[in-house]
Amino acid sequence: MVFTKKTDDTQNRVPPNQKVTTGFPVLHYGDVPTYADLSKWDFRIFGLVEKETTLTYEQLTSLPMTQVTNDIHCVTGWSKLDNLWEGVPVEEVVKLAGVKPEVKYVMLHAEQGWTANMPLEDFMRPGNLFAVKHNGEPLTPDHGYPLRFVVPHLYFWKSAKWVRGVEFLEKDKPGFWEKNGYHMYGDPWKEQRFAWD
Ligand SMILES: Nc1nc2c(c(=O)[nH]1)N[C@H]1C(S)=C(S)[C@@H](COP(=O)(O)O)O[C@H]1N2
Ligand SMILES: [Mo]
């Protein structure tokens, strides 16, 4: 009998029933938005905040940027390791508006009314960012240009593409996929794929 020992840590980085892909699949509901220019684009920070704030693309991308590398896990079964993202850390955006003490959840709002919910703590996790680049290249329209959220510790559907705002809430509400049978939280390590998982 031959025993093989994996020499890298890949096996520990891939949640149950996920397969690693080296491609970058495209997954979303609806049409890819197109922009003639970004003059009408804005980003809203609203709900239970001290000061509702609206940023232009220029204001948003003038905030301090960072780079992070992480692994992403799509609920449909693919994982992609070692993604290098560049963008604005979540805390840089949030501190402009200030979160009220009663806030426990957020709702991300994207183009065409698409939404995704998560607990405040998960949204604010260090390493989360509003990304403008992936692996050194500007985001393509398919992958969320001009801005996408990246929250790698939850299934990738929570990482809103074409994100246009964040709303702070006291109570949890289902977002787009969550209304359509997906799990309210979506932990890939617990395989929280569907509402009943
Ligand atoms: N605005 C928006 N963001 C979205 C989606 C969507 O339908 N609309 N789909 C999600 C899902 S299900 C996945 S798996 C990822 C896919 O991101 P990718 O196409 O860049 O791989 O985007 C997420 N973000
Ligand atoms: Mo997905």
- Is residue 155 included in any domain, yes or no? yes
- Is residue 197 included in any domain, yes or no? no
Task: State whether the beta carbon of 73 lies less than 6 angstroms from ligand 1.
Answer: no
- Is residue 182 included in any domain, yes or no? yes
- Is residue 196 included in any domain, yes or no? no
Going by C-beta distance under 8 Å and a sequence separation of 6 or more, which residues neighbour residue 173?
105, 107, 117
- List, for residues 16-50, the tens digit of each pLDDT value: 999 999 999 999 999 999 999 999 999 999 999 99
User: What CATH number is given to the structural domain containing 83?
Assistant: 3.90.420.10
Index of the ligand 1 atom closest to the CA of residue 161: 3
- Is residue 90 included in any domain, yes or no? yes
- List, for residues 169-183, the tens digit of each pLDDT value: 999 999 999 999 999
Q: Whose CA is nearest to atom 6 of ligand 1?
A: 28
Instruction: Please state whether the predicted TM-score (pTM) of the whole model is above 0.75.
Output: yes
Boundaries of domain holding 43? 3-190
Task: State whether the beta carbon of 156 lies less than 6 angstroms from ligand 1.
Answer: yes
- Is residue 66 included in any domain, yes or no? yes
Total count of domains within the chain: 1
pLDDT of residue 116: 98
Task: State whether the beta carbon of 25 lies less than 6 angstroms from ligand 1.
Answer: yes
- Is residue 37 included in any domain, yes or no? yes
